[in-house]
Amino acid sequence: MIEETGQVLSVEDGFADVETIRTSSCTACRARHGCGHHAIAQVSSANRMRMKAIDPLAVEVGQRVVVGIPEDTLLQASVWMYMIPLLGLVLGAVFPSLWSGGSEIAVLFSVVGFAGGLLLAKRKSQHEMNNLDYYPKILRIESLENRIPLVVTP
């Protein structure tokens, strides 16, 4: 299960809108303190992602939650989005060589194969849009027990 921590923005009928901050390999890099890319990623809003997640826990707005998606679901979606268009491109480029077609025909067929792969990926995406297996799921509410409480003294 691939997990990410986020904050609940809204709740509706068994679903919750959750905003997460995408983490990258920057957090594990030793050079991150002197790296401009890491500094920009920390303050940029481009690393924020909003998603609709299945809510079996009846969470409330403002809570920090952990959302997850199974690895096999992510792998299957990646194959459809990346491998199918690439396979169309390669097959389109190889196909004309079977009958000694010229390079111009190979280029044309590779473009057509790539476009066909993109169309197949788009149709698959539209077909699976309402499939709940592809939605992230709220796994747990982040515990507040390990945090240091803020004490205000008068």
Give residue 90's pLDDT: 95
Give residue 4's pLDDT: 86
Nearest to 41 by CA among 62, 24, 66: 24
Nearest to 50 by CA among 78, 14, 81, 8: 8
The residue ranges of the chain whose pLDDT is under 50 are 148
Task: Report pLDDT digits (tens) over 119-150.
Answer: 999 999 899 888 888 889 999 988 655 554 55
Residues in the chain: 154
Handedness of CA 55, 59, 60, 62 (dihedral sign): negative
Alpha-carbon gap, residue 44 to 47, rounded angstroms: 6
Give residue 115's pLDDT: 96
* Extents of the domains making up the chain: 2-23+39-141
Helices (H) then strands (E): counts for the chain: 4, 5
Give residue 70's pLDDT: 86
